[in-house]
Structure 1
Amino acid sequence: MQLEKLVLILSAVIACVFSSKLLDQEWQAWKAKHEKKYSNFRDEMFRRKAWEETWHKVQKHNELANQGLSKYRMAMNKFADMTPQERTSRKCFNSNRMSTSHDNVPVQDSYRTLNMPKSKDWRDSNCVTHVKNQGHCGSCWAFATVGVFESHHCIKTKELINFSEQQLVDCDTGNDGCCGGLPEKAMAYVTKHGIMKSQDYEYADKQFNCLYKPDNSLAFNVSKYYLLPGEENMAMSVAFDGPISVGIDASDDFSMYCNGIFDGDCSTEPNHAVIVVGYGTEHDQASGEDTDYWIIKNSWSADWGEEGYVRMKRNENKCGIGSDASSVDLAR
């Protein structure tokens, strides 16, 4: 009996040592992949602990995905050394401004008589720019706004141009630069002032003095910018007019997204602005069920999610996606 207990104890010790060495190797490989460097040993140990907690979370979740109990998988991405609190506090969608910003913005809800296509992906039209990276600046609202103008301009003119997010960060006083903002307010700014090309006003990941040059900006003939209440109107607008901006809750689960259709935990209070570039439906042969989803372009670079994109469950206001959508109409 004593011998059996000793064998069990030794087996547990060996398993722990093996697991520790495996995690050491993965930690070193992860740091190298994401070019992570820490200021001192204490800081690295704090980040290592947070990383290990994330590692266990990801392994547990992906096991559920393997069993068909979740429609998406997680990854040990560049946010893995952050605590859950840090990941969920990366807010750049300034919901505090919502009540006043919506007062003078028209609402578009006249799509109900149209027959919506079963799927749409504006990437197929070559009118969606590459996935960008907002970095540490809370400028998602600027990226969402610029992305909508880039695509709608291309749809009208067949010319795809990268416009300047930095101009909005520095010059749009209706929003708060790296401390957050709202796309509909930024749309009002662009309607009035136009926008420069990104090559003439490059993104800096920080807020500086405004360097806007009217002579170097492109003016848009905006017939209107507007809000889209509910997912039905959002889908119709995407189908017939082009990509739209939306607010979502970029929760802890969302931050660790890798691929699949996101159905993880999140609230319905938006804290992050992104761009809906399409929608579709996926059929699961095993269950025989269909799952409707949005195709969303994020601004966390192409090394996150599905090459910078996420598919999110549609028609259930997932992560508050139906709460604050907006778009523009450009006249020819």
Structure 2
Amino acid sequence: MLSYRMRLHQVLPIFCILVMCTWASHYFDQEWNIWKSKYGKTYVTVDEELLRRKTWEDTWYKVQKHNELADQGLTSYRMAMNHFADMTGKELESRSCLISTGFPSNAPTNRYRTHANLPEHFDWRDSKCLTEVKNQGSYCGSCWAFATVGVIESRLCIKNHELMDLSEQQLVDCDTQDSGCCGGLPILALMYVADQGVMKTEDYAYTGKKMACSYNSDEAILLNTTKYYLLSGEENLASSVALEGPITTGFGVSSDFLLYSEGIYDGDCSKNPNHAIIIVGYGTEQEEENKAYWIIKNSWGEEWGEIGYGKIERNINKCYIAEFAATIDIM
């Protein structure tokens, strides 16, 4: 009898481990298939799918661990198993689409006076001057074009009360100062558009790859612009956003930011700015000890963040957000 009990005590933990492993495997099988279906994921070979599945499982554990910290109030944002979940950390951090060198010497810098009467909260999403969130795709580093075009779309609408969907593909193909799908700089793109104008998306659709330039001056919208310029300092950024409209800026994306789902991002940054985004507003979160934040519009589709938008910690130059800001004045 004693021997039987001893054997039972030895076997029972092994049995429990086997049951848990079987349950975990079944759970992951179901979740993996649901996730693939949701994001339309297909893989060329069995080996590739096994690799992506392993990466996806690692990401799942990372997301669960991070969100436990969020539940404890130890971080102010949450993560999700979005369309980036099967990409390795190295792949995620290599998605650079901002050329953070080579600022043009002839680009002016605008410095606002201190505006003590700025509203405490401002959000251009409350207007009708933001186009739908777009998706640059996985294989073209065109964030610079999307950020540039998004700012022009909004500022044209603010002045003319007409929202138009404009062409990022024109910039990718035709702006020779930038590098198409290999990255660019919004201030250079603003210079190009100020000179050449910009076509509508319906006349020059996005393909997600660099093509031969098909610019047609007869179909281009020429901008009545006074100047394009760089902005420096977060107070100046806030003034420009609240008084005039959305602006484009650079951001140092880490793999954590690609998994962002909601809250105020206070996580890791890359070593250098590598992505372009649009600032559409700002505010302060009372429940987070008055933590100030930017409201940003991204170009990774509505599956990312808060339906394509996000909040980033403000007034600490988070991830270099105040160092590559630019915009354009439209009459």
For Structure 1 versus Structure 2, the TM-score category normalised by the shorter chain is over 0.9
Note if contact 2:93-2:270 (Cα within 8 Å) is conserved in structure 1.
Answer: no
Q: Which residue of structure 2 aligns with residue 40 of structure 1?
A: 45
Q: Which residue of structure 2 aligns with residue 272 of structure 1?
A: 275
CA distance in 2, matches of 1:310, 1:297: 7
Shift in alpha-carbon separation, 1:241–1:323, aligned structure 2, 3 A: same
Alignment pair present for 1:128 and 2:130: yes
Q: Which residue of structure 2 aligns with residue 87 of structure 1?
A: 92
CA distance in 1, matches of 2:9, 2:241: 65
Alignment pair present for 1:31 and 2:52: no
Q: Which residue of structure 2 aligns with residue 250 of structure 1?
A: 253
Q: Which residue of structure 2 aligns with residue 119 of structure 1?
A: 121
CA distance in 2, matches of 1:102, 1:229: 15
* Structure 1: gaps spanning 5 or more residues: none
Note if contact 2:225-2:329 (Cα within 8 Å) is conserved in structure 1.
Answer: yes
The structural deviation recorded for 1:113 is 4.3
Amino acid in the other structure paired with 1:88: E
CA distance in 2, matches of 1:230, 1:156: 25
The structural deviation recorded for 1:120 is 0.7
Superposition TM-score, scaled by structure 2 size: 0.96
Residue identity over aligned pairs, in percent, reads 54
What secondary structure, in the 3-state scheme, does the structure 2 residue paired with 1:93 have?
coil
Note if contact 1:71-1:261 (Cα within 8 Å) is conserved in structure 2.
Answer: yes
Misfit runs of 4+, over 6 Å: none
The structural deviation recorded for 1:19 is 1.1
Root-mean-square deviation (CA), in Å?
Answer: 1.2
Note the 1:199-278 alignment, pairs <5 A.
Answer: 199-267=202-270, 269-278=272-281
Q: Which residue of structure 2 aligns with residue 13 of structure 1?
A: 18
Note the 1:98-113 alignment, pairs <5 A.
Answer: 98=101, 100-113=102-115
What secondary structure, in the 3-state scheme, does the structure 2 residue paired with 1:266 have?
coil
Q: Which residue of structure 2 aligns with residue 191 of structure 1?
A: 194
CA distance in 2, matches of 1:112, 1:268: 30
The structural deviation recorded for 1:69 is 1.3
Q: Which residue of structure 2 aligns with residue 282 of structure 1?
A: 285
Per-residue Cα deviation, 1:170-212 (whole angstroms, up to 9, x for no partner):
1000000000000000000000000111111111111111110
Amino acid in the other structure paired with 1:130: E
Q: Which residue of structure 1 aligns with residue 73 of structure 2?
A: 68
CA distance in 2, matches of 1:268, 1:106: 26
Q: Which residue of structure 2 aligns with residue 163 of structure 1?
A: 166
Q: Which residue of structure 2 aligns with residue 315 of structure 1?
A: 315
Note if contact 1:93-1:180 (Cα within 8 Å) is conserved in structure 2.
Answer: yes
* Structure 2: gaps spanning 5 or more residues: 1-5
The structural deviation recorded for 1:114 is 4.5
Q: Which residue of structure 2 aligns with residue 305 of structure 1?
A: 305
Note if contact 1:246-1:321 (Cα within 8 Å) is conserved in structure 2.
Answer: yes
The structural deviation recorded for 1:267 is 3.2
Q: Which residue of structure 1 aligns with residue 61 of structure 2?
A: 56
The structural deviation recorded for 1:115 is 2.2
